[in-house]
Amino acid sequence: MQKKEIYLDNSATTAAYPEVGDLVRKVMCDFYGNPSSLHMKGIEAEKYIKQAKETFAEIWKCKEKEIYFTSGGTESDNLAIIGTATANTRRGKHIISTCIEHPAVINTLKYLEENGFEITFLPVDSCGLVSVRDLKEALRKDTILVSVMQVNNEIGGLQPIEDMAKVVKEFDNNILFHTDAVQGFGKYRLYPKRSGIDLISVSAHKIHGPKGAGALYVREGVKIKPIMFGGGQQNDLRSGTENVPGTAGLALAAKTAYASIEAKTAKMRELKNALKAGIGINEGIKFFSGDEQNQAPHILSIGFSGIKSEVLLHALEGEGIFVSSGSACASNHPGVSSVLKSIGAADEYLESTLRFSLSEFTTEDEIDYTVNAVNKLLPVLRKFVRK
């Protein structure tokens, strides 16, 4: 096989759309004014913030004033969770989430727990899905917030967040519902008002946008406090001079991602299934995924018994293929994946699992090349391990 460069780690980050890169540079170099300034350079910059709000209002079918721009998914999650928790303590201090959330949510909730809040972490099944019944049983009179991710970043499980939001609102319409939609944004259409969702967090660099930019939807009327203090930009909720180039790039990436979204996701799912079928012919393979309707189209988590994930990862890198051994955001704290433990993965797979994540740019030839490389490497590496 002729060596190529194949990037299958799109859940960690994506290459920017070329037009996004061009726009970010243009705004950074030509429209560099502070959007809070009253002169023409400020007005030129503010135009891009306004256009970005219009783009997101159209995607989410919401009001422009319900959109806030942040430094990324982590800040959006922190602002959504800490901001609403601290603003609603008179109603209670109980929060419900799941055991497989992204560290930006898990660690934020642990911080609140250390400061007097009670957190219920719901369990998941072998496919990483939460039971709506479990959520219903966990709701209490003092529950103020439920936070459930839309798509799991490691195994791709798609949570029934709309069903969950309905259960929450039927129990008590004052309980807020937040979803970390970082991995689902650009793959699924989501309309918060129709679904009963109060807060949504997204990130630019997961959808071919720039790093350091994100957005947070906050339904009008939600009680929320700022977690950063300064000049009061963005309606006194998110202070700090707006990242105009990043926000412009985020908006263009979102608009581009949602153009022909159904065709793009169908293609990704087809290629993911081809990857699954091609690698599945080997022995000692475990796919951590459920039914297609409960699985994101772009993420495939595979366990390879008898081979350390790091060994196979670097062997594939030697073939020009880039994948992940789990969440890139947990790489500073290496160890056994808490997600794999939560879904009850067998011990032999806890340190032997790789994540392959596709994008709209992934091709059939790249999948064929990857399948051939994996099938060539597995017997060699397993023979080496046995020795």
pLDDT (tens digit per residue) in 240-256: 999 999 999 999 999 99
What is residue 293's predicted lDDT score, i.e. its pLDDT? 83
Q: Is 7 helix (H, G, I), strand (E, B) or coil?
A: strand
Structure tokens at 263: 């065709």
Is 44 in contact with 182 (CB distance < 8 Å)? no
pLDDT (tens digit per residue) in 9-22: 999 999 999 999 99
What count of Cα atoms within 13 Å lies in the side-chain half-sphere of residue 205?
Answer: 14
What is residue 1's predicted lDDT score, i.e. its pLDDT? 45
Q: What is the DSSP string of 163-229?
A: HHHHHHHHH-TTSEEEEE-TTTBTTB---HHHHT--EEEEESTTTT--TT-EEEEE-TT-----SS-
Which of 227, 239, 205, 196 has its CA nearest to residue 77? 227
More confident site: 141 or 333: 141
Mean pLDDT score of the chain: 94
What is residue 289's predicted lDDT score, i.e. its pLDDT? 77
99 tagged catalytic: no
Is 359 in contact with 208 (CB distance < 8 Å)? yes
pLDDT (tens digit per residue) in 202-219: 999 999 999 999 999 999
Q: What is the DSSP string of 31-81?
A: S-S-TT-SSHHHHHHHHHHHHHHHHHHHHHT--GGGEEEESSHHHHHHHHH
What is residue 337's predicted lDDT score, i.e. its pLDDT? 85
Element (H, E) at 118: strand 118-122
What is residue 387's predicted lDDT score, i.e. its pLDDT? 45
pLDDT (tens digit per residue) in 289-301: 777 788 999 999 9
R_g of the chain computed on alpha carbons: 21
Catalytic residue among 62, 99, 127, 329: 329
What is residue 386's predicted lDDT score, i.e. its pLDDT? 52
Per cent of the chain over pLDDT 90 is: 89
Torsion of CA 342, 294, 299, 100, to 10 degrees: -20
What is residue 200's predicted lDDT score, i.e. its pLDDT? 98
Domains and CATH numbers, the chain: 6-15+260-386 (3.90.1150.10), 18-257 (3.40.640.10)
pTM of the predicted model, to two decimals?
0.94
What is the spatial distance between Cα 320 and Cα 45, in angstroms, rounded to a whole number? 41
What is the spatial distance between Cα 81 and Cα 141, in angstroms, rounded to a whole number? 19
Work out the pLDDT band at 335, boundaries 50, 70, 90: low
**Residue 187 in this model has a pLDDT that exceeds 60:** yes
Which of 261, 288, 26, 3 has its CA nearest to residue 153? 288
Is 324 in contact with 367 (CB distance < 8 Å)? no
pLDDT (tens digit per residue) in 257-280: 999 999 999 999 999 999 999 999
Structure tokens at 222: 């939600």
Structure tokens at 66: 């319900």
What is residue 384's predicted lDDT score, i.e. its pLDDT? 73
**83 Rama sector, left if φ>0, alpha if ψ -120 to 50, beta otherwise:** alpha
Q: Is 261 helix (H, G, I), strand (E, B) or coil?
A: helix
What is residue 43's predicted lDDT score, i.e. its pLDDT? 95
What is residue 291's predicted lDDT score, i.e. its pLDDT? 76
Which of 97, 116, 113 has its CA nearest to residue 105? 97
Is 180 in contact with 201 (CB distance < 8 Å)? yes
Number of H-type helices and E-type strands within the chain: 13, 12
Residue with tokens 């910059």: 45
Element (H, E) at 355: strand 353-357
More confident site: 104 or 331: 104
